[in-house]
């Protein structure tokens, strides 16, 4: 990119595969902020595994600060260091090298790309187009997105009431309210996982199907934060996207109740999520 590009990745008890994931995008950025939510430091393992150590700034307070706090730290550090764009990554996400290069080239060639708040891509396993075809969108996931830090400075930042889940959705909505565009490229794909994916026999059809399972605490954050977002953004502009989120969460709850082995804990988490939202208990549970 003509402007300086930095990246951030948030760790939480990272497996060894994390270091290989980082190597897929490290060559394309000038600086990588590694923000560790683990209770114990992973700095030695990181430095031992990474090829270009001079690009790394490791940040840890030996506690889980959540996603929103760490993203705000990364954005503010990048701005202070003179960067104008920030690639935000999860530890389990990675690019095929040619796709990362193609992604950056699509942004560079995008007309008036400085007027776009966030660039991202479709969440599919295969490209949906050839060339830099794109759609405008209301919502992009954090992992793999490239954030315009000029736009970030105009927002309230990532909402720290959310801790995890819906953090990206909230930030996207803030940018849209400010008049910025969000661009989703249809030719770019990357590798990302949400939850534990397993094969089960469907109760309805009897066929083997793939289902995503989540821990009860993750479902708690999904439900509580959805209710928060529903209240924070009543505008008709976001109604369809909010409804799509509601349907997605319903499916995830159903999968965990039908196919998971923590049904009682899931039910308790659902109850707690609604109670905490009503009582305005936000942030870290």
> Residues 6 or more apart from 46 whose CB is under 8 A from it?
19, 34, 56, 58
Q: What is the pLDDT of residues 183-213, one digit of tens each?
A: 999 999 888 876 666 666 766 776 767 778 9
Architecture of the domain whose range is 5-185: Alpha-Beta Complex (3.90)
Q: What is the pLDDT of residues 27-69, one digit of tens each?
A: 999 999 999 999 999 999 999 999 899 999 999 999 999 999 9
Q: What is the pLDDT of residues 143-167, one digit of tens each?
A: 999 999 999 999 999 999 999 999 9
Q: What is the pLDDT of residues 82-134, one digit of tens each?
A: 999 999 999 999 998 889 999 999 999 999 888 999 999 988 778 888 899 99
Listed by start position, the domains of the chain span 5-185, 196-278
Residue 16, exposed/middle/buried by CB under 10 A (0-12, 13-18, 19+)? exposed
- Distance CA(119)–CA(202), nearest Å, equals 37
């Amino acid at each position: 990119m003509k402007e300086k590009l930095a990246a951030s990745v948030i760790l939480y008890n990272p497996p060894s595969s994390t270091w290989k994931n980082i190597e897929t995008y490290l060559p394309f950025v000038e600086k990588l902020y590694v923000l560790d939510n683990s209770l114990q430091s992973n700095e030695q393992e990181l430095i031992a595994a990474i090829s270009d150590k001079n690009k790394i700034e490791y940040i840890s307070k030996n506690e889980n600060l959540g996603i929103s706090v760490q993203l705000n730290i990364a954005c503010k550090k990048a701005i202070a260091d003179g960067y104008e764009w920030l690639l935000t990554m999860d530890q389990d996400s990675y690019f095929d090298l040619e796709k990362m290069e193609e992604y950056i080239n699509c942004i560079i060639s995008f007309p008036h790309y400085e007027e776009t708040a966030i660039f991202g891509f479709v969440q599919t396993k295969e490209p949906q187009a050839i060339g830099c075809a794109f759609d405008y969108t209301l919502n992009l996931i954090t992992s793999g997105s490239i954030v315009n830090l000029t736009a970030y400075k105009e927002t309230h930042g990532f909402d720290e009431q959310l801790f995890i889940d819906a953090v990206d959705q909230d930030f996207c909505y803030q940018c849209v309210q400010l008049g910025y565009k969000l661009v989703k490229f249809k030719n770019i794909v990357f590798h990302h996982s949400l939850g534990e994916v397993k094969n089960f026999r469907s109760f309805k059809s009897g066929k083997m199907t793939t289902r995503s399972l989540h821990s009860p605490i993750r479902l708690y954050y999904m439900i509580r934060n959805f209710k928060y977002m529903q209240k924070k953004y009543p505008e008709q502009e976001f109604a369809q996207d909010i409804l799509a989120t509601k349907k997605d969460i319903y499916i995830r709850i159903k999968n965990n109740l039908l196919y998971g082995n923590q049904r009682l804990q899931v039910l308790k988490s659902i109850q707690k999520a609604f109670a905490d939202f009503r009582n305005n208990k936000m942030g870290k549970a």
